[in-house]
Amino acid sequence: MAIFNIMRKPSVFRCCSVLGLIKRMSNVPENTVYGGPKPQTPDQRVTLTHLRKKYRNGEPITVVTAYDYPSAVHLDTAGIDVCLVGDSAAMVVHGHDTTLPITLDEMLVHCRAVARGATRPLIVGDLPFGTYESSAQQAVDTAVRILKEGGMDAIKLEGGAPSRITAAKAIVEAGIAVMGHVGLTPQAISVLGGFRPQGKNVASAIKVVETAVALQEAGCFSVVLECVPAPVAAAATSALRVPTIGIGAGPFCSGQVLVYHDLLGMMQHPHHAKVTPKFCKQFGRIGEAINKALSEYKEEVTNSLFPGPSHSPYEISASDVAGFLNELRQLGFDKAASAAAEAAEKMAKVVPPNGGDD
């Protein structure tokens, strides 16, 4: 009856009262109701507007490919402009020889992990092989999932065949930002005959430029140029009105991208040595540090050096030890009581009283 009584009140008051009542009746907490996108000021979140401004000002754009929460946090801290969640996770994380095996569901797991860690960069998710080639509708459906379920800001797709151009255009028209990718397109190794650089002759070089322009005209906000000669990349960059992101394409692009694990020198295993591209500069030797740390850990555990007193901080008082031993013996655990007594005696010799946390 309350709501009907409200309806008989003056219109303005009635409107406000009904809205207030409905709001109070909602089972959704007020602070979870959607209130627009996350803050997108340049200091808080990189957007397409921010990238366009850098492009117009001639400021190089930094892009890193990463696949999980910890690496996303590192990118965030370093102030990287764009984080690409690449289908190269198939090779770098899952150990495959190509990018082809990774599924959409697997990509979504990587996307969500990165989205939780990268609060500042623009985050772009790759469309994996087999999820957008059949039709423009399939491409749009996949792109929608990457944004809605993966938490991405934009998507990237490979290639410049007519069907890919159509797919890119359809995705843009659906309201989703698209990054293009030409040159060496790893998903097309079946046709390319392996991981082979492109643009090394006249016809191939012209195709790189024309394909990049076609992707721009389809609405792509940026185009990745992979494994092409520097003059070809320079020509494509000059021909476009959107940023180019180079990877193995020389210094004349609008920005550069490398894989997190590659640039850190994380992969020292022979499998990764054969798939780490020769154009990659290792800005660190993290893999060596990891191997050294693991070897030292193994040695200390094997020789009973870890954990020592400083890493065994939790104490039990002498009176509680006595009570504990007594209870163990009453329960028939004499051997366990002896082990506990011996451990307590040893720790008492090396751990200062009240030296640990409760």
User: 115: Cβ–Cβ under 8 A, 6 or more apart, which residues?
Assistant: 72, 123, 150, 151, 152
Virtual CA dihedral for 159, 165, 166, 170, nearest 10 degrees?
100
How does the average pLDDT of the chain come out, rounded?
86
Select the more confidently predicted residue: 151 or 352. Answer: 151
pLDDT bracket for residue 189 (50, 70, 90): low
Known active-site residue 226 = yes
CA angle 71, 59, 127 (to 5 degrees): 45
Query: Which one of 30, 226, 299, 327 is the catalytic residue?
Result: 226
pTM for this one? 0.81
Q: In this predicted model, what pLDDT tens digit does every residue of 91-127 receive, in sequence order?
A: 999 999 889 999 999 999 999 999 999 999 999 999 9
Tens digits of per-residue pLDDT, 27-56?
444 444 444 555 555 467 899 999 999 999
Instruction: Transcribe 28-48 into DSSP letters.
Output: S-GGGS--SSPP-STTT---H
Q: Return the pLDDT at 133.
A: 93
Residue 192 clears pLDDT 50, i.e. is over it: yes
Question: Hey, what are 92's tokens?
Answer: 């770098």
**Whether pLDDT at 193 is above 70:** no
pLDDT (tens digit per residue) in 261-309: 999 998 755 445 555 677 788 899 998 999 999 999 999 999 999 998 8
Where do we find the tokens 């890193």? Answer: 64
Element (H, E) at 231: helix 230-239
Supply the pLDDT for residue 267. Answer: 72
> What is the arithmetic mean of pLDDT over 320-325?
95
Peptide linkage before 307 cis (omega within 30 of 0): yes
Residue 255: pLDDT over 60? yes
Q: Which residue has the tokens 């399939």?
A: 138
pLDDT digits (tens, 9 = 90+) for 196-213: 778 899 999 999 999 999
- Percent of the chain at pLDDT > 90 equals 70
The partner residues of 156 in beta bridges, in order of sequence, read: 126, 179
Neighbours of 184 (CB within 10 A): 25
The larger pLDDT score, comparing residue 198 to residue 193, is at: 198
Mean pLDDT of 12-19: 46
Distance CA 355, CA 51 (A): 53
In degrees rounded to 5, what are phi and psi of residue 225?
-115, 110
Cβ distance 199 to 242 under 8 Å? no
pLDDT at residue 171 tops 80: yes
Cβ within 8 Å of residue 308, ≥6 positions away? 350
Residue (of 96, 67, 125, 118) closest to 261 by Cα position: 67
- Backbone φ and ψ for 224, nearest 5 degrees, come out as -80, 135
